[in-house]
Amino acid sequence: MRFYHNPRCSKSRKALALLEERGCEVHVVRYLETGVKEEDLPLLAGLDGIVRKKDAGAAVMASLQNEEDIVALLRTNPRVLERPILIAGQRAVIGRPPEDILSLLDEA
């Protein structure tokens, strides 16, 4: 499992703590430092609410017409990625609230 994490975000820290409490082994991706993994972009682009509206701005949000536009945006500007995100196989969930990530564990 991969966990997209921003250590400055309280929701992201809480979600990571929930995973650690359950003994889950996750590969932590500090996407602000490394960017979004290319292989994850199509999956992430399909998630509702994947782009942080307040960080992207109204003009950028209005320009997003399809998943390809979202992929291009996340590739060039990972700062707008909503977090935290847990990916397991071909499934992903945004941890807003952090407890939502546990739904992926329940399905596994």
Give every CB contact of residue 6 below 8 A, 6+ residues apart in sequence.
12, 30, 31, 32, 83, 84
The residue with tokens 């942080």 is: 52
Pairing type for strands 85-88 and 27-29 reads unpaired
Catalytic, 24? Answer no
The structure tokens listed for 57 are 């701005």
In this structure, the number of other CB atoms found within 10 A of the CB of residue 71 comes to: 18
Candidate list 4, 6, 8, 9, residue with the active-site label: 9
Sign of the torsion angle spanned by Cα atoms 38, 69, 29, 40: negative
> Which residues are known to be catalytic?
9
